[in-house]
Structure 1
């Protein structure tokens, strides 16, 4: 597998970013929801947010790399067997997920910096608080963070269902291109 995207498939860099970030989205959402149930006496009360924020910063960096890579190495074209509606739905869902991820990262930063403190990256260094003290900053950013995270999980679920539909029902190369699998014969009616 080559590192750059080609006209037929995703390269290993795009594929790796996609799957690592997919796992991170699910993990960060699960930890984020779990953290809201912790009370002051929980042994995880301070360490869970520390890890959530640190991994969130790594996620933010990967998101920037992914968006840059998407610009430098465009995704393969949709398969000719995909209908216009499928292409539009897939494109819309992908860009909505990118937008949601970006806003989730920004809102997480605004929650973390609301009181003027920076955000620690695993204790190695601190990302400074450039924006703080806005009216109800933590509460408003928290609501955006929460609801967009749930929306992103829903969109990701639809995205996964679409990929499975293409793989199991249409039996085309859509999912194979993102898994690095050998492509089915491209002479099979555009599949």
Structure 2
């Protein structure tokens, strides 16, 4: 499998970043929901938010790296069986996912640094507070963070369902390209039907 993308499939760096970030985003969402239910006397009351913040900073770094990698790499061609509206909505969904992740992480940063204290990332390093002291910053950023988290999970769910639809119903190369399969070896159901005169 190539390191970089080709016109027929994603390389292992793009694939690794995609699947790793997908798993981490889901885990972070679950962690965020769980830690909201913790009481002050729960042993995880301090640790869970600290882990959430630390992973959030690392995830932000991965996201920036992924955006850079996406822009310096070629992108696999869309499956020829895709309709025009499917191509457009696919590209818009990808941009929306990137935008939501960026906005979500910025909101999380504003929550964590609202009191002017830096974010400690697993005691490895700290990220300083650069914008703080705004009236009700933590509450406003917290509400925005929650809304964006739900929006991201819902859109990611639609994205996953669309990929499964293309794989099991259309039988095209959309999902397979992100699984390391070469799209040149895939015959979409539309092409088969045309060859049979259907």
- TM bucket (normalised to shorter chain) is over 0.9
CA gap 1:181/1:8 in 2 versus in 1, 3 angstroms: closer
Q: Distance in 1 between matches of 2:153 and 2:130?
A: 29
CA distance in 1, matches of 2:128, 2:38: 26
Q: Which residue of 2 aligns with 1:119?
A: 119
**Matching residue of 2:69:** 69
Q: Which residue of 2 aligns with 1:140?
A: 140
How many matched pairs? Answer: 190
Contact 1:172 1:184 in 2 (8 A): no
Contact 2:29–2:149 (8 Å) recurs in 1:
yes
Match of 1:91 in 2: 91
Tell me if structure 1 keeps the 8 A contact 2:8–2:184: no
SS across alignment from 1:85: helix
Determine if the alignment matches structure 1 residue 31 to structure 2 residue 31: yes
Map residues 1-191 of structure 1 onto 2, 5 A cutoff.
Answer: 1-183=1-183, 185-186=185-186, 189=191
Contact 1:31 1:52 in 2 (8 A): yes
Is the contact made by 1:176 and 1:183 (CA closer than 8 Å) also made in structure 2? Answer: yes
Matched position secondary structure for 1:10: coil
| Unpaired stretches in structure 1, ≥5 consecutive residues | none
| TM-score w.r.t. length of structure 1 | 0.96
CA displacement, residues 144-190 of structure 1 (integer Å, 9 cap, x when unaligned): 11011100000000000010001000111111100113546356639
**Structure 2: runs of 5+ lacking an equivalent:** 193-198
Mark the CA change 1:182 to 1:79 in structure 2 (over 3 Å): closer, same or farther.
closer
How far apart are 1:76 and its partner, in Å? 1.1
Give 1 or 2 for the bigger CA radius of gyration: 2
* Cα deviation, residue 74, structure 1: 3.3
| RMSD (CA atoms) | 1.4
Rounded Cα–Cα distance in structure 2 between residues aligned with 1:187 and 1:145:
42
Shift of 1:131: 0.8
Q: Verify the 8 A CA contact 1:114 1:138 in the aligned structure 2.
A: yes
- Any runs of at least 4 consecutive aligned residues in structure 1 with deviations exceeding 2 A, and if so which? 181-190
Tell me, in whole angstroms, the C-alpha distance in 1 between the residues paired with 2:48 and 2:74.
37
